[in-house]
Structure 1
Amino acid sequence: MIGGIYTYDNKDADAIGKEILEELEIRMKKKTDNK
């Protein structure tokens, strides 16, 4: 489980998850733009 180290409450976990997803989306967009 990614982020299993974090033991914050659900709201914090959701926020962290969203930040990670947004970061991944940005990186994927950059990769596709470079092609």
Structure 2
Amino acid sequence: MNHVLYLINRMMLHDNTFYWHRQQINFAMREILG
């Protein structure tokens, strides 16, 4: 049970990190192209 929760936590954390990086990339692209 704890192992499954750990995996779900890891996946959620990874998704949040990916989303944050995507936001940063979008912002950088607007700055460069803007």
Q: TM-score range by the shorter chain?
A: 0.7 to 0.9
Percent identity over the alignment is: 0
Query: What is the aligned-residue RMSD (CA, Å)?
Result: 1.2
Structure 1 length-normalised TM: 0.75
State the number of aligned residues.
28
The structure whose residues are more often helix, as a share, is 2
Q: Looking at both structures, which has the greater relative contact order when contacts are Cα pairs under 8 Å and sequence separation is at least 6?
A: 1
Runs (4+) of structure 1 exceeding 3 A deviation are none
Gaps of 5+ in 1: 1-7
